[in-house]
Amino acid sequence: MHSDALAHLLATTDFAWRHTTPDAPRPTNIQWRADACDPGSILFFQRFDDDVSDDEIHRRYFAGRRFAALVTNRPLDCFERMAGVALHVTRPDDWAEVVRRFCDVVYPLAPGAQRFIGVTGTNGKTTTVKYLESILAAHGQRVLSIGTLGVFLDGVPQVETGFTSPPLIELRRLLHANQDRADVVVMEASSHALDQGRVAGIPFENAGWTNFTQDHLDYHRDEASYFAAKARLLDLIQPGGRLYCTSQAVADRLAAHDPTPVPVAVLEPARLPPAAIAAKPFLALKHNRANYALAVALAAPVLGATPADETREHWRHLQPVDGRFDCRLYGNRAIVIDFAHTPDALDTILDAIRDGFPEARVLTLFGCGGDRDRSKRPLMGAAVARHSDVIFVTSDNPRHESPERIIDDILTGFPEGQAYSLIVDRAEAIARLFDQLDACPADEYWVALIAGKGHERYIDRDGHKTPYSDQEQVALNLQRLGWTSAL
């Protein structure tokens, strides 16, 4: 169906380098995953600056697989081993635009058929997107949301992509498949996605920026590059749109450089009546009230002239977000499960716990992920030490690193003499946490924060994701100890 158009694009695109072969099959489809290719596929493979050699890339992704053509963003040393494949290398800055053109052929989007809203920020993207989804859906909008928790249509889960922001070919496939079923697309735009062109050509009507703190320096190398990646979202906002931001520091930093391509509006956390906090306890947290204010502002242009009384009641439509301040009360014990996995996120949620539970002692269980920014590990340790009475250090997603090495990095952030319990196995650590709480006097108030995994239902180690859930471990220990809400 697309064969002629794809062949024409391959032939006419101004690549930096190409090697054609008469033996290459005629292209029929585009793919971003090598294991999804067939003999007619054009495989788009983006090479990054990492420790993986071109030889290893060939072994992992190309060897033994068949496809018609390979398009990369830079030459690879393994090209000579790819006989019978048409090879194409884009110019350094053309990758995203080239991929977009091919997507326009295979997964076209009808102009104006959908409205797009993007949200970036170090923390709070998922919560803001889910709040916005709930508000829009409650007012009759058909909403497609895309983010860390997966793809949802009108609040119903469709698929988990495994990405905060899917690669552009996958994103366009999802948008094309749902363009007749959704009026509005709300999506997270991660720094990786913005840097790699995964959202290239998406015409955002408006966008939001929650905050900016240290994360992902393993990829971006330095804080300035990380900020610059996020700032690329502004270039995707269409004329007449604006960026809504809940961080004055971010707005000031944007203004300090070249004039922003769109206006930037700074929002304060929403002021809500006591009834709202009582009905939606997660809105007791200042950062969630900021996320809510951002969602309300982004919803307003879509909903148009909405009565003021109705706008003030948007909070009624919100639901708790999976793994984000999942709080359960058992007498004088509160168990909180949260995705917090950066120094700022831990500081923010622990500070909110201290503010919301002023009489309680705080126990924090956390770890750090492997193959990620090592410099944030001691900062996370320091944040936990500042706010916690009792600390359990455990494993998170070690990936290809030793859990013990990761923990050693964490411990360097603790002040001298800091007491802590070290239990590498996360399930065992949670069991020990419950044992300690159970042994405390019943009239003592305790809040236990289990941080780092939130919505994730796996542990990633040595290239394998083993089923695991903090929520399930909490449920097992509640049952084991016979705790009830009346404890």
Best CATH choice for the domain 3-106 from the list 1.10.10, 3.90.640, 3.40.1390, 2.60.40: 3.40.1390
Per-residue pLDDT reduced to its tens digit, 392-446: 999 999 999 999 999 999 999 999 999 999 999 999 999 999 999 999 999 999 9
Q: Where are the domain boundaries for CATH 3.40.1190.10 in the chain?
A: 115-317
pLDDT of residue 258: 74
* pTM of the predicted structure, to 2 decimals: 0.87
Per-residue pLDDT reduced to its tens digit, 239-258: 999 999 999 999 999 998 77
Per-residue pLDDT reduced to its tens digit, 259-279: 889 999 999 999 999 999 888
Beta bridge partners of 116: 185, 204
Best CATH choice for the domain 115-317 from the list 3.90.1300.10, 3.40.50.150, 3.40.190.10, 3.40.1190.10: 3.40.1190.10
Report domain 326-481's class.
alpha beta
In angstroms, the CA 347 to CA 353 distance is 10
**Is 168:140 a contact under the CB 8 Å cutoff?**
no
Q: What percent of the chain has pLDDT over 90?
A: 82
Helix residue ranges, H only, 334-390? 343-356, 376-387
pLDDT tier at 487, thresholds 50, 70, 90 = very low
In angstroms, the CA 37 to CA 29 distance is 9
Q: Where are the domain boundaries for CATH 3.40.1390 in the chain?
A: 3-106
For residue 13, how far is the Cα from the chain centroid?
A: 33
Helix residue ranges, H only, 376-422? 376-387, 403-411
What residue type is 215 in one-letter code? D
Q: Quick check: helix, strand or coil at residue 430?
A: helix
Q: How many CB atoms lie within 10 A of CB 456?
A: 19
pLDDT of residue 367: 97
Q: Where are the domain boundaries for CATH 3.90.190.20 in the chain?
A: 326-481
Q: Is the pLDDT of residue 48 over 90?
A: no
pLDDT of residue 485: 67
